[in-house]
Structure 1
Amino acid sequence: METRAHYDSIMDRSKRITWQDDCYVELQSTPTSVSSQSEAEGPSWIQTHRDQLLRFTTHDFLKEMLNHLRKLDVLSAAEETSIMQAGGLHDQSNQLTTIISSKDSQGADAFQGFIESSDSPVAQLIINHDHMVKEHKAMLLERYDQQRERDPNSCTKLNISSRALLLVDGLSDLQQKEHDLMQVGATQGRTRNHLRQLGLAKLLEPLTRVSLPPRVSLTIGVSGIGKTTWVRHFVKQWSQGSICSDVSFVFPFTFSELNSAEKFSVEKLLKMAFPHLTDPCLIFSGSCRTLLILDGLDEFYSTLNFSDAAACSDPKKELSVDDLLTNIIRGNLLPDVAVWLTSRPRVASLIPGGLIDRVTEIPGFSPGDVQIFLQHYCAEKDFATKIWAHLEEHKNVMVMCYIPSICWIVADTLVYIMQGGAQDGLPRTCSELYAHFCAMKAEVGEPRGREPVRSEQLHGNNRKLLWSLGRMAFYGLLKHKYAFSELDLRANGIDPLLSQSSFGTGVLVREKSAVLMTYRFIHLSLQEFLAATFYLVSSKRAIFDLFSESAMSWPKIGFQNHFKNAFQHTQQAEGGHLDVFARFLTGLLCPVALRPLAGLLSLGKDDGSQKTWAAGYLHSLLVSGGAVVSLRTVNLAYCLQELQHTELLRSVEEDLRLGSLSGKLSRAQCVVLGYLLHVSPECSEQTNLSGSLNYSTVKCLLPQLFYCSHLRLENNHFKDDVMELLGSLLSAKDCHIVKLSLAENSIGSKGAKALSRALLVNRTLTSLNLRNNNIGSKGARFLAEALKMNQVLVSVNFQSNNIEEEGAQALAEVLQCNRKLVSLNLSKNTVGGGGAKKVAEALKMNQTLTKLILSSNHLGDKGTVALAGALTLNHSLLSLELQSNSISNRGMAALTSALRQNHGLVSLNLRENSIGVEGAKNMARALRENSSLQDLDLTANLLHDEGVQAIAEAIEFNQSLVSLHLQWNFIKANATKALAHALLSNSTLQLLDLQENAIGNEGVIFLAEALKVNTSLQTVW
């Protein structure tokens, strides 16, 4: 209870935390009054330490102070009673300091003396807290101001303070299982839909009035997205007092630092990293709000074992580092300290979800962000324009640029090439681009913009350094090792001093902390590229398996055997962590890609035969394999692109663009299609596979359809069995589909049931088109049950599905409780008057539906009268379509009466009914009073001249109608004359449709004369 009280006192601060405009936490602190002192005297000791007294005083310490002051007669019994009755601990402490401040110096000195002589941790905090915090912040600012922030996210022109983290509900399957670049490729850098944003300042705050601040927060992001940059920015902002002012101490660590020792205690670790703190345990007493940052879990050598690690709560006990971290995350150690972890997604998934209170994700660059970055990075504006045009043309490179660090590599390389005058032959693949990048970094001392350096000019050590770095990169990659020590460098034949050469510093980042010196490649993709260069060079002469670091293995002679071996390992690699390595290895077989490194690799002249062989080998892998196209298989298409063997890729892309894939989707084409969905925004944003698929091809492509935004699967003759597959697609956590069209298939009630199960859990689909299927009323009932729970769908099309009154009743029940559905299309069913009546009853309560289509449903006057009753109460419906429903004057009378009361309906479609002259006159009366209706369609009715003349008279006064359709209504010259006269005074009508009537030349002349005066009418048919 005591700890809870202190925690409450710490959290009791005056602050407003906004959350999506309508949810916030208001934390009010009680204003305190301080006894005034003259400026000459300066602040008293109590005034100087008042905030600390109120913040850190505990119940026990308060009692000790009161007993001491009573013994010295500083406090009277009445004063002590008034203090104890003041309220909570904060108020009691406030009352005590107020009373002491009002007394003479003897009382204040006694109060001060007691605290300064006490050995209580509370007293030490009261006395030393501010000094300790100031010293700690100064040290952090000095440390982090000296670090090189290479991450493009740290660019001042792309200020992190203007960006936000995304609050996510755990990790997707893709994030848990796949390589970072495969994640970015599959999603094209898009984040999941409907994610809340969270600024760094709110990282440690509760989200609602009733929630608690998170103890353990996890921020995920792919390699190069800027996790460390965000951490450094947070530390700097906190140290400057800009954010989280209620946090007393922030202790940032990197997991690469923690690799340096086998055992640590909490106390030893803090003293070693922050030697200015004489008593770290004082900070962790629970009185101070403290944050421990653990950055880069993916760089930790050990595995955190949450099931077997022995529990420990003693901060002075030495534990293995993995057990130490496990106990901190579990809360056995430092239970009152907030913990912020950062990690790449796949490694983060190893932490049990129940231990994480909040998960946030760092978003990558959008295409707009890439453009902004290029504009800021390129001094020459035309360079930014040319680079952007090049990226748009080569989508495989563009996708990589959604990662800020890679965007920097791409921009740095392309600008260098363009400054050298080679603006026409820019790299078309990632392999070619990275080869240029390494060649650029190897040009020691050469100023930017000169002619490319010849191989004989290259620094003599660069060739050996490239091979050694490649070896370290390759075997590090196999071990999932991404941070290296000086021992690692020496073990791979790299002199740490040589690593500081131009080439070394161009590809390695050297970071020094209080604990350890670490090295890492500037991005994971560069480590993978250098690993590929090592493997390519070594495989030319190796006689043993290079994947075995020891020399003992089965003999493998010849490059082709080593190449096949690499792909076997790639296909079997857990989580696809060798995918990008395989792409680079393949890409380096293209002579164009290899050319920039010719002087560094000494591979001799390439006649292109290896490229031809590799293309054939990859094609053989494309056509083999299981029934489902996995991401491992899609990576083969990436490899073909890197090899610049693109005939198959271009063929499938052209067929997809033209909609001519029908009958052409073999397994190889399905693999390529999966690849195109990754790299082409046009393909994934609207994927048109209409008339192209069957059960087998859907099953084959299913894992690649998760990431489409708008998926069109029309006219594929799908039956209910396919809906089981699509149901699993929509149910998946990874599903990104926003719009799905299944029109013109053969889906029945069983398929609708499978779809309904998916809609119960789907959180992305906003539009569903089931036009021209056969779900019937039974299927409508299944879907209605899902729609009652679904809070995402806003538009559903049930046109032509044999839905009768029973099905309409089920959907009407949806309208009574669903608060998200905006558009509902039930046209060309047989809901009848009874079904319309059920829908009308629901509309009286519904306030969200804006568009309702009931055309061709045999509503008759009975159904129309029911809907009219709903319109007198419902003012949120904007569009109502009642075409072809046998509505006569009787139904029209009720409908127009409702229109005189309704002030929400904007569009009304009454085409192809049986509305006569009397109905037209009723409509005319409604138009005189209604001020909301803008679009009225009375095409193909029985209005005749008399009815249209009445409407024309109403138009003279109506100021809302914008379009009026009177086609095919037996109109002659007299009615046209009346309309022309109305146009002389009407200033809002923009469209008038008089087609298929008998207005004759005389009617045309009337209209022509009116148009000389009227300036609003834009279209006359």
Structure 2
Amino acid sequence: MIHNKKMFDQLTLTNKPSTLLSFLFTLENLAWCRQNVKSILKRKYERIHERITQTGPKTDFDKMYTTLWIISGEAGEVNTEHEVRQIETASRNTDRPEETISCNDIFKNSADGDEPTEVRTVLTKGVAGIGKTVLTQKFCLDWANDKANQNIHFTFPFTFKQLNVLKEKKFSLVELIHHFYKQTKEAVTSIFEDNENQVVLIFDGLDECRIPLDFHKTQILTDITESASVDVLLINLIRGGLLPSTHIWITTRPAAANQIPAECVDMVTEIKGFTDDQKEEYLRKRFSTEKEANSVISHIKTLRSLHIMCHIPVFCWITATVLKKVLETRNGRWDLPRTLTEMFIHFLVVQAKLKNVKYGGRSERDSAWNPDTMKMIESLGKLAFKQLQKGNLIFYESDLTECGIDIEAATCYSGVFTEIFKVESGLYEDTVFCFVHLTVQEFLAALHVYLTFINTGVNLLSEEQTTSQSSESAETTFYQTAVDKALQSPNGHLDLFLRFLLGLSLQTNQSLLRGLLKRTGSSTKTNWETAEHIKKKISENLSAERSINLFHCLNELNDHSLVDQIQHYLSSGHIDTKTLSPAQWSALVFILLSSEKDLDVFDLRKYSASKEALIRMLPVVKASKKALGCNLSETSCEALSSVLSSESSNIRQLDLSNNELPDSGVSFLCDGLKKTTCTLEELSLSGCYLTDSGCKSLASVISHKLSSLRVLDLSNNDLTDSGVRSLSDGMKSTNCTLETLRANTNFPCMITFNLKASVLECICFFRLTGCNLSQRSCEVLSSVLSSVSCTLRHLDLSNNDLKDSGVGILSDGLKSTHCGLETLRSSTILIFDFFFSHTDLKKIKYCI
């Protein structure tokens, strides 16, 4: 491993044996140390307990691993929505033509199609359970097995869970690495002394960090042997003051991403989870027969909410575990779980029985509920609810003790509860606890609140937690309080909790929980009154996101009346949106968003070309790939702008043709187009009566460094000299990314006086139909066609009465060896004759 040949040559020339021997000894130590670290990582990751279960036989990592969908992301604003909402958004974008990033290329940035360049600091975002930790393990294992990144000499993975318990202690960086990797003691200083040693430090789970990271007020540290608190070490590593040549990889849930200043991050990536194909691939690995796999996949596809949740690898695991067990115990009867609540009740029963068999000596046929499992559920539910209220996902011994959980007993809960207290292959870990996924914590929290009310009469959601007598009115109040409390949450963090709580109220779901319940609760009347309360809330003009979650709640209650009503209107082919109530509008949005069909094109005119309709249908617009609209007002444009700049927007094409857009409306739209999160590629403003002010706003977008606009249609606009000049200035910018420009009327005649030919060279498609092209315009086009750097591939000159002189000038450009034109469209007979007489132009497709 003599990677520093220059140093070795210099030492050889000194003729000092002692110095040379010392150098060789260091190299030997480094080589030994590297192999030891690789061995540690191989032992730790090669065979692992699949996803959740920390007991029982292990699985080969490569057999379990399914490739994840990773894309380049943006720092942007923090998305504080409930992560289930973020998953629903991501599930609609699985066919986006975004370039995916390989796990082993995580430090390579190939933006704009350039040669990949190495970056120092990478931040990877992803919702809970999406596969961030598994991704880092895959990177480490491939490196340790010599499959990838052998230019990297050392890889040291850490978790913030591990680092949290050290926040009161002081270490030098050398001591910190030795603390976790004992075998590096003899060589750890040498690893960093040689700048040619490439090192990767991985910090997994920033969202679980309980160490305050103040990047504005912290001491500067550059010495790897100087002791400091863990927060100071982390901040200086991330900033680059400490070990500036070392690669840093941080993973986090989206809500915590802003803890790292944007200037400290070279590249942001995002894990989107499983695509639809990857879901199928994973599920097929879990079922032994093709018939079972096909039936399970078909079942999940018919249930939109379950199919969306399977976007998360952990939920895919839960679903496969439950359905496999249900099929085994029901002897082929296919009454499989259909709602999230049903799925999680079954999951809880499976895990409780697993505990009984492993630790209680019972049979799988015995009831899941006995004093031990009942105590476990009571304790874990209390912990889940308390920590959910605080927003905590990880807990320590003190949190468990407070909820009456015995630390020793907690190690038995590995199916439901992940315990990280292990000393494995030389890697040091302290006791840290967490639920396997946020959804499991939310389900157990809802179960705890439900059981407490049914068994004791205490409503934990009420400010005054008094014991009430069992009655229908008390139960109705209990559920209505839950609905109101969830709606008060600013970011919807109780949305899924509410769905679970209402799902538990159904007697069909209570049958599997009989051992936990002192009595069955919730009559048909109570469920009906709860559903009516939810419908009343939907009619109160809530945000679209809140309304959609309330429809999911109605689904858990088996109430589909509102949705069925709108479905009937849609199937009849006639829906009068002028008479729709707010609740019915919400139902329409829910139906369109829940459809299995992709929202390729959303045409507002099918429903109502009104401002009110657009505002109400914005969630559908956001989810569509192409949106068409008309009769837009200033308010409508402002609303559209907010959609375009939303991180969750799916719109790639926007057609606003034949709208008399006000200047203020164009300005609002352009503000949205300039946001970092806007990904619009095609914009049609044909026949929109663009003014000079509107052209100026558009020019600011065309010249903006973050613009993703590739196609711009300005046909049927009577542009003035001033407007064309503004657009020309925008197109001259080096930031201009336009590939297709559509225009007519006097646009090209004016642009030739304001625009250099070099600007048109970057355009791939130029449509100049009915433009009355002048000789000067033909000269500019000819010079563009014959330019070495011209990228023009398609040229439309239809409905232009080109004279002999114009055709002659154009022919010079067409005959040039540099002309890369592929398609020429024209209705001029002179050009047709010209093509017919020049056989060397057969490479160009001529269309009349």
Normalised by the size of structure 1, how large is the TM-score? 0.69
Who is 1:755 aligned against? 669
Who is 2:551 aligned against? 637
Shift of 1:295: 1.9
C-alpha separation in 1, matches of 2:759 and 2:208: 57
Query: For the structure 1 residues 216 and 284, does the alpha-carbon distance in structure 2 shift closer, same or farther, using more than 3 Å as the test?
Result: farther
Who is 1:156 aligned against? 62
SS in structure 1 opposite 2:393? coil
C-alpha separation in 1, matches of 2:380 and 2:700: 60
1:394 pairs with 2:303: yes
For 1:439, which of 349, 352, 359 is the aligned residue?
349
Query: For the structure 1 residues 538 and 285, does the alpha-carbon distance in structure 2 shift closer, same or farther, using more than 3 Å as the test?
Result: same
Who is 2:29 aligned against? 128
Query: For the structure 1 residues 609 and 505, does the alpha-carbon distance in structure 2 shift closer, same or farther, using more than 3 Å as the test?
Result: farther
For 2:38, which of 96, 117, 137 is the aligned residue?
137
Cα distance per residue 1:644-686 (max 9 Å; x no partner): 3233235556767868463256543454455456544635443
C-alpha separation in 1, matches of 2:374 and 2:308: 31
Shift of 1:205: 6.1
Equivalent residue runs for 1:693-708 within 5 Å? 694-699=610-615, 702=618, 704=619, 707-708=622-623
**Which one-letter code corresponds to 2:716 in the other structure?**
S
CA RMSD after TM alignment: 4.4
**Paired residues of 1:188 and 1:679 also in contact (CA < 8 A):** no
C-alpha separation in 1, matches of 2:748 and 2:37: 77
Shift of 1:424: 4.0
Stretch of structure 1 that moved more, 886-895 or 795-804:
886-895
Shift of 1:346: 0.7
1:361 pairs with 2:267: no
Stretch of structure 1 that moved more, 407-416 or 704-713:
704-713
Equivalent residue runs for 1:477-488 within 5 Å? 477-485=388-396, 488=399
Who is 1:718 aligned against? 632
SS in structure 2 opposite 1:461? helix
1:179 pairs with 2:82: yes
SS in structure 2 opposite 1:718? coil
Shift of 1:347: 1.8
Shift of 1:601: 3.9
C-alpha separation in 2, matches of 1:280 and 1:832: 70
Cα distance per residue 1:372-413 (max 9 Å; x no partner): 222222211122222222233222111111111111211222
Shift of 1:369: 1.0
For 2:134, which of 229, 243, 246 is the aligned residue?
229
**Paired residues of 2:656 and 2:686 also in contact (CA < 8 A):** yes
Give structure 2 stretches of 5+ with no counterpart: 54-58, 469-473
C-alpha separation in 2, matches of 1:210 and 1:298: 33
1:282 pairs with 2:189: yes
Give structure 1 stretches of 5+ with no counterpart: 1-49, 56-89, 101-106, 116-121, 938-1021
Equivalent residue runs for 1:485-634 within 5 Å? 485=396, 488-495=399-406, 499=410, 504-511=413-420, 512-513=422-423, 514-542=428-456, 546=460, 553=464, 555=466, 557=468, 558-573=474-489, 575-604=491-520, 606-624=522-540, 629=543, 631-634=545-548
Query: For the structure 1 residues 707 and 191, does the alpha-carbon distance in structure 2 shift closer, same or farther, using more than 3 Å as the test?
Result: farther
Cα distance per residue 1:95-128 (max 9 Å; x no partner): 332574xxxxxx74x5567x3xxxxxx8974563
Who is 1:826 aligned against? 743
**Which one-letter code corresponds to 2:82 in the other structure?**
H
Shift of 1:612: 1.4
Who is 2:471 aligned against? none
Shift of 1:525: 1.0
Stretch of structure 1 that moved more, 887-896 or 667-676:
887-896
Who is 1:408 aligned against? 317
Cα distance per residue 1:699-728 (max 9 Å; x no partner): 4555x367424242323x113442233234
1:427 pairs with 2:342: no
**Paired residues of 1:676 and 1:683 also in contact (CA < 8 A):** no
**Paired residues of 1:283 and 1:290 also in contact (CA < 8 A):** no
Higher relative contact order (CA 8 A, sep 6+): 2
For 1:474, which of 385, 391, 416 is the aligned residue?
385
Q: How many pairs are equivalent?
A: 812
**Which one-letter code corresponds to 1:168 in the other structure?**
G
SS in structure 2 opposite 1:682? coil
C-alpha separation in 1, matches of 2:748 and 2:115: 49
**Which one-letter code corresponds to 1:258 in the other structure?**
L
Shift of 1:311: 6.3
**Paired residues of 1:832 and 1:863 also in contact (CA < 8 A):** no
SS in structure 1 opposite 2:415? helix
C-alpha separation in 1, matches of 2:118 and 2:794: 46
**Paired residues of 1:837 and 1:866 also in contact (CA < 8 A):** no
**Paired residues of 1:853 and 1:880 also in contact (CA < 8 A):** yes
**Paired residues of 1:893 and 1:922 also in contact (CA < 8 A):** no
C-alpha separation in 2, matches of 1:311 and 1:865: 63
**Which one-letter code corresponds to 1:186 in the other structure?**
T
**Paired residues of 1:265 and 1:316 also in contact (CA < 8 A):** no
**Which one-letter code corresponds to 2:300 in the other structure?**
L
**Paired residues of 2:785 and 2:821 also in contact (CA < 8 A):** no
**Paired residues of 2:143 and 2:149 also in contact (CA < 8 A):** yes
Shift of 1:256: 2.2
Equivalent residue runs for 1:84-95 within 5 Å? 91=6, 93-95=8-10
**Paired residues of 2:352 and 2:373 also in contact (CA < 8 A):** yes
For 2:122, which of 217, 225, 238 is the aligned residue?
217
Cα distance per residue 1:857-903 (max 9 Å; x no partner): 5x278699668856864786555545555668887787789877777
Stretch of structure 1 that moved more, 371-380 or 676-685:
676-685
**Paired residues of 2:760 and 2:784 also in contact (CA < 8 A):** no
**Which one-letter code corresponds to 2:632 in the other structure?**
F
C-alpha separation in 2, matches of 1:887 and 1:205: 51
Who is 2:698 aligned against? 783
Structure index of larger Rg: 1
**Paired residues of 1:752 and 1:782 also in contact (CA < 8 A):** yes
C-alpha separation in 2, matches of 1:607 and 1:469: 28
1:800 pairs with 2:711: no
Query: For the structure 1 residues 437 and 463, does the alpha-carbon distance in structure 2 shift closer, same or farther, using more than 3 Å as the test?
Result: same
SS in structure 1 opposite 2:269? strand
C-alpha separation in 1, matches of 2:641 and 2:224: 51
Who is 1:998 aligned against? none
C-alpha separation in 2, matches of 1:402 and 1:544: 37
1:298 pairs with 2:207: yes
**Which one-letter code corresponds to 1:587 in the other structure?**
G
SS in structure 2 opposite 1:166? strand
Who is 2:143 aligned against? 238
Shift of 1:146: 6.0
C-alpha separation in 2, matches of 1:284 and 1:878: 54
Shift of 1:433: 1.6
1:904 pairs with 2:805: no
SS in structure 2 opposite 1:576? coil
**Paired residues of 1:544 and 1:553 also in contact (CA < 8 A):** no
What percentage of aligned pairs have identical amino acids? 24
**Which one-letter code corresponds to 2:181 in the other structure?**
F
Cα distance per residue 1:35-81 (max 9 Å; x no partner): xxxxxxxxxxxxxxx82xx74xxxxxxxxxxxxxxxxxxxxxxxxxx
Cα distance per residue 1:394-438 (max 9 Å; x no partner): 221111111111112112222333343455433222112222222
SS in structure 2 opposite 1:224? coil
Who is 1:266 aligned against? 171
C-alpha separation in 2, matches of 1:688 and 1:464: 55
